[in-house]
Amino acid sequence: MTTTRAGTAATRATTADFVAFAVTVRRIEKMGAHFVRVTLGGDDLEHFHAAGLDQRVKLIFPLATTGLTTFPRGGSDWYAGWRDLPEHERCPMRTYTVRAARTAAGEIDVDFAVHGDTGPATRWVNRASVGDELLVVGPDARTLVVGAGPIGGVEFRAGDADRVLLAGDETAAPAICSIIEQLPADTRGQVFIEVATDDDILPVTAPGRMTVTWLARDTRDASHGEALNRAVRAWVSEMVAPAAADEPVETTGNAPLGDADADAEPLWDVPPATGEHHGLYAWIAGEASCIRELRRFLVRDTGLHRNDVAFMGYWRAGRPES
């Protein structure tokens, strides 16, 4: 596999259909105070295309009455079939990152950030046992098309960037850890991960020229996103000269970033996979309002090119998503 300085070229050169893979829980491991790693296995996973980096998949959770029987498994048109079902027949669906994949063994690991018992994903993982059934919707290696565009669900596209900044809260921690463990050895940059407590610091191996900083809210007496915001601003301010005062405000769609509606759909903007960057590439994810403010700081205040910033609002405060 060929690699660029800060990213994997193969993730920009292939695409594949997303299909449902039948899996069962093989192992459950507590990882820190608020993380749970679930190993899912199944014979079908030998055909799972492990794209790596921040590869997202859909987890399909069973209904209390009918289990997984109502979920359409007819191939790549599963979403239309799921959407057309009556609401009471739709299995709950949530998006997660593949933390690790061992397709020869028919296994993938998924890390859950667990706070409370408020949604279908957290309720499921809090009660999960070995042998429980689940569906994973992900890329099917049998449908790979080389040269057709970026693989679905992989948003980290650092291309030829000289430096990389990765920042996010605990919901982004699995993706960030997966990314940095797969970067070329000479990648340089900074990683900030905000978590609830020091007990949530996870083991991760980064390239030697990258610094990984964990930010625990309880030791900083900080609200969600506060420590992350401060850390990113301080580091970027040292690394990058600020934008000119008269530079126009960067916009997303038709609205200035500062006027973005926090109650709208989570903000999500990923640069095209051109591989052309301007020095620093930033990948930021987590709570939508925090990520919106950081993106505005990077693009409007600091002057980063919008194609150098990937930002993803994984969830919104006050609206349980998992």
| Main-chain dihedrals φ then ψ at residue 120, nearest 5 degrees | -65, -35
Q: Is the CATH code 3.30.420.40 the one for domain 163-315? A: no
Whether the CB-CB separation of 198 and 218 falls below 8 Å is answered with yes
* Measured distance CA(3)–CA(73) in Å, rounded: 35
Do residues 199 and 30 lie in contact, with contact meaning Cβ atoms separated by under 8 Å? no
Answer yes or no: are the C-beta atoms of 150 and 15 closer than 8 Å. yes
d(CA 100, CA 202): 14
Third-level CATH fold of 17-143: Elongation Factor Tu (Ef-tu); domain 3 (2.40.30)
- Measured CA to CA, the distance from residue 263 to residue 267 in angstroms comes to 10
| Domains of the chain by residue range | 17-143, 163-315
Close Cβ partners of 143 (under 8 Å, ≥ 6 residues apart): 16, 17, 19, 76
pLDDT at position 148, please? 60
SS3 303: coil
How many residues does the structure list for the chain?
A: 322
In this prediction, residue 10 carries a pLDDT of 42
For 84-123, b where at least 16 C-beta lie within 10 A, e where not — what string? eeeeeeebebbebbbbbbeeeebbbbbbbbbeeeebbbbe
Q: DSSP per residue over 37-66, as a string?
A: EEEEE-GGGGGB----TT-EEEEEPPBTTT
Tokens of 63: 């209904």
Tokens of 62: 């069973």
Nearest alpha carbon to residue 129 among 22, 25, 23 = 25
Mean pLDDT by 10 residues, the chain (322 residues): 40 76 98 96 96 96 97 90 96 97 97 92 97 97 80 88 96 98 96 97 96 95 95 95 51 32 60 75 96 94 92 83 45
pLDDT of residue 240: 86
